[in-house]
Structure 1
Amino acid sequence: MSVANSNRPKVVIEQVLAVLPLEVARWLEALSDVWLDELEEIRLRVGQPVELCLRQRSAFLGSDGTLAQSLDASMRISAGALAQVLQRLTQFSRYAVEEDMRQGYVTLPGGHRVGIAGRAVVEAGRVRAFRHVTSLNIRISRDRPGVAASVLPALYDRASRRPLSSLIVSPPQCGKTTLVRDVARRFSYGGFAPGDHGMKVAVIDERSEIAGSVDGIPQFDLGPRADVLDGCPKAEGMMMAIRSLSPHVVVTDEIGRTEDAEAVLEASLAGVAVVATAHAASLDAWRRRPWMERLFLARAFDRYVVLSRRKGPGTVEAILDAEGRVIGRGGVEAR
């Protein structure tokens, strides 16, 4: 079992601890597993307290290693300490490439994403780099095997024994990537429906978050029939997979650009199912984005799964068919 597959909180975040200031890492290690299991983000801001965003609330890391009850008792980050973290990020991760930095993030091994804020250097209307970085947001990536169990029957046609193209829609931090990872794993292993023996899954992992690859090797278990194109742009990767990997289903994260939509349409014409995610508060909101209405009208997706945090990350609010009609809620759906 790979490191990232362990359920022990301290093991899950050890790649994160390696880039943090020593004092912060030491105090985080001292926190109970209960708190660490609820940890979703670590926010580092110059001159401000270290903020820990937990599942239901946020708290500040106290100077004594506890969760501080007041700002005065909290641990604060200096500009020098933040600069050291940024330096470790770019050295520790082979995926801290220039293009990632331009998009405002770095991905650590294990799929942890680090958001960057500061002064943007803009040339010809595009962000080229960040200077004078003033804050970092470290988002903890966790594996949750089995989370797709309730929605999987809706994403699979038992009569034809084929996966259905599906889009998982939600605002940030609602468990889209965790869910799509488990969908990929369950399709790869098979056995979730009578007569299902598993299928070939191509994972297009542009941000290295679904598989959490290190040196191209997935750190999350995606099953025995998964092929991963790590760090590959989504649109190009989908076409490469269809041409050369003969997948039954292509899995990818965060579609939104015109070229992504075109690739999804091409996949549907080629008879390959696509399971993807998208940032939006609802299906209607997603449809209002450029090019997405075209996907909807073309019935490129057979199913839509809408998530929220209402009962915690991964709450299934609705499952809809290709025409946007609700067929299930809260993990219980029509067959």
Structure 2
Amino acid sequence: MLTSILPLLPNSLRIIISNLPIKLKEQLEEIRIREDRPLEVLSAGRYVFVAQDSTLLKDSQKAYKPSREDCRMLLELLTNHSVYSFEEELRRGYITCSGGHRVGLAGRTVLEDGRVKSIRDVSSFNIRIAREIRGTGIKLLPYLLDTDEGRPYHTLIISPPQQGKTTLLRDLARCLSYGEWTISPLAQLIPTGLKIGVVDERSEIGASVQGVPRFDLGPRTDIMDGCPKAEGMMMMIRSLSPDVLVVDELGRPEDATAMYEALHAGIRVIATAHGSSLSDVSKRPVLRDLIEEKLFTRYVILGFRRGDEQVIQVLDEHGNRATSGRFYRLGKADDG
């Protein structure tokens, strides 16, 4: 996926990043570019600074420091030389690029009626590399499937930022669409994949280009790209009759309202939320009622990654372990 990132970088940065060690590039997760401050990358869970000759450093003082021109050109390339057409993205503080990569932005904000209207003088960029990693969801499916109904339980995936929840969400959508069951009774119960509706507000789940996902989400998946979650869920419910709705990062009151509609329309929902525990997210007003009413029947808690491994806990609607007290380790995760 790095090949889709390099054309978005100004020449000076493109040369540095393309000459990084091969193993580091294969596991690259973030490129952090800050005007007149050290260039930094995250790979395999470890941050390092980078010199102009692509040498990896611990000493920030010897690292390459992107110039104002580097940052200006980077923003031009990210917005296809039309910054004003990305005003909504700038207001939200990120730009999603082709390939599902998300670029976080910081700089001087412009306010209107006390609210952020846009970001000018962008001086910090966090390029988060999106990767399709298959197999992260298949180990969890036996604990997320309601064998009585032949569909997954209403599931909320909870994790701190950048611990792989979008990677897991994407792979669960793919597995359910293909019908990749690992236990034979499930294969008999659900002989084909399910109809999946993905609402991809930030274009991160499917990495769609002109409405067509570039990541494999399965043969029975419909995707609403670049659409606000609440509106997208209602559109899916009314017109596409999904068996399962998949959405990323619940956070607004209208998201909860649309969730109620889906949950009471007989559609199963798999969603994600930022947090470190069930008690953590239950304090958020948007999710509190959904949790207290036990509308989610499974919670997947992603722990912090340690290298290529990660401890994952599955809880039921009461907050009890749904895996007989066992934890399951998944492989590499890259985003979310």
When normalised by structure 1's length, the TM-score is 0.91
Residues 1:259 and 2:248 are matched in the alignment: no
Pairwise CA RMSD of aligned residues?
1.9
One of 190, 195, 200 as aligned partner of 1:200: 195
Residues 1:218 and 2:213 are matched in the alignment: yes
Report the equivalent of 2:67: 78
Q: Which runs of 5+ in 1 are unaligned?
A: 1-11
Report the equivalent of 1:38: 27
Q: SS where residue 79 of structure 2 aligns?
A: helix
Report the equivalent of 2:131: 142
Hey, what's the Cα distance between the residues in 1 that align with 2:95 and 2:231? Answer: 21
Residues 1:331 and 2:295 are matched in the alignment: no
Q: SS where residue 285 of structure 2 aligns?
A: coil
Could you say if the C-alpha distance between residues 95 and 180 of structure 1 is closer, same or farther in structure 2, counting changes exceeding 3 Å?
Answer: farther
In structure 2, what residue type is equivalent to 1:295?
L
Encode CA deviations 1:123-166: one digit per residue, 9 max, x unaligned.
11221011111111101111111101111111111232112110
Report the equivalent of 2:112: 123
In structure 2, what residue type is equivalent to 1:38?
Q
Report the equivalent of 1:54: 43
Q: SS where residue 327 of structure 1 aligns?
A: coil
Hey, what's the Cα distance between the residues in 1 that align with 2:140 and 2:81? Answer: 37
One of 270, 273, 298 as aligned partner of 2:293: 298
In structure 1, what residue type is equivalent to 2:289?
R
Aligned residues: 321
Hey, what's the Cα distance between the residues in 1 that align with 2:54 and 2:166? Answer: 31
Report the equivalent of 2:157: 168
Residues 1:23 and 2:12 are matched in the alignment: yes
Instruction: State the shift of 1:183 in Å.
Output: 0.4
In structure 1, what residue type is equivalent to 2:257?
E
When normalised by structure 2's length, the TM-score is 0.91
In structure 2, what residue type is equivalent to 1:179?
L
Runs of 4+ in 1 over 6 A off after TM superposition: 92-96
Could you say if the C-alpha distance between residues 122 and 263 of structure 1 is closer, same or farther in structure 2, counting changes exceeding 3 Å?
Answer: same
Instruction: State the shift of 1:259 in Å.
Output: 0.8
Could you say if the C-alpha distance between residues 175 and 79 of structure 1 is closer, same or farther in structure 2, counting changes exceeding 3 Å?
Answer: same
Report the equivalent of 1:284: 279
Residues 1:109 and 2:71 are matched in the alignment: no
Instruction: State the shift of 1:170 in Å.
Output: 0.5
Per mean C-alpha deviation after superposition, the further-off stretch among 150-159 and 117-126 is: 150-159
Report the equivalent of 2:80: 91
Q: SS where residue 180 of structure 2 aligns?
A: coil
| % identity of equivalent residues | 46
In structure 2, what residue type is equivalent to 1:322?
E
Instruction: State the shift of 1:41 in Å.
Output: 0.7
